[in-house]
Amino acid sequence: MGDASLIHGDCQNILSSFKSENEKIDVIFTDPVWPKALSKLAGSHNPHDLLFEALSFIPMILKETGRIIIQLRCDSDPRILNSILLRYPFIRTAWLPYAIPSRQGRVLISGDIAYVFGKPPKSRVGNRVLPGQPHSDFCPPAQSNHEKIKHPCPRHLSHVEWLIEKFTEPGETILDPFMGSGTTAIAALNRGRKFIGIEIEKKHCIEAEKRILKNCTFNQI
């Protein structure tokens, strides 16, 4: 169904080695550390600089026809997206609602928002237009009821699979520089894409590998 490479390390150091044209990727898809993130997350002390430095390697690693997809919770400050270079045009936002919202103080946490930049995917049967919200079947609870995930901030697999299906093309290579527990990897492989994931915390790399082995069919890891 595809292949996956999981890399344990600092994404800034690893991305600097993506210099060959043959190594360039099609899509950067990530859920970065956001402003006011949990202090237990690596990089939470300065998420703006973390994302800026990671994305500074984009011109070296992303194909001219590539896309950038950033997924944030609805209460995440979108000004962090100033890290994205103007050479990558904005395509659209996509609203990813939760079936069961929750409260954080006075804020109702009702979903995630994906921001899509770059060149749109090619038109194909079943994907002629680029929608802004998934079908109700892809509106899950905030956390999965079927899988216990140790990462403190996982995204729901249904949302990520929908984004990959609608905003990437079959066979493309997707890079997540902040892989976490591997939800993007599972979604990519399930939808016939290739995946490269980078995660600075070894425990999350181990969890991602276990989740992929349990949930995916793939060629190599």
Q: State the Cα–Cα distance between residues 117 and 99, nearest whole angstrom.
A: 27
Q: For each of the domains in the chain, give its residue range(s) and CATH number, in order of start.
A: 4-215 (3.40.50.150)
Q: State the Cα–Cα distance between residues 154 and 8, nearest whole angstrom.
A: 18
- pTM equals 0.87
Q: State the Cα–Cα distance between residues 28 and 69, nearest whole angstrom.
A: 6
pLDDT > 50? residue 206: yes
In percent, the amount of the chain with pLDDT more than 70 equals 82
Q: State the Cα–Cα distance between residues 114 and 92, nearest whole angstrom.
A: 8
Residues contacting residue 35 through CB under 8 Å, at least 6 positions apart:
47, 48, 76, 77, 79, 80
Q: With beta carbons less than 8 A apart as the criterion, state whether 199 and 8 touch.
A: yes
pLDDT > 70? residue 105: yes
The amino acid that residue 173 corresponds to is: T
What average pLDDT does this structure show over 15-25?
72
What average pLDDT does this structure show over 54-81?
92
Q: What is the pLDDT of residue 150?
A: 52
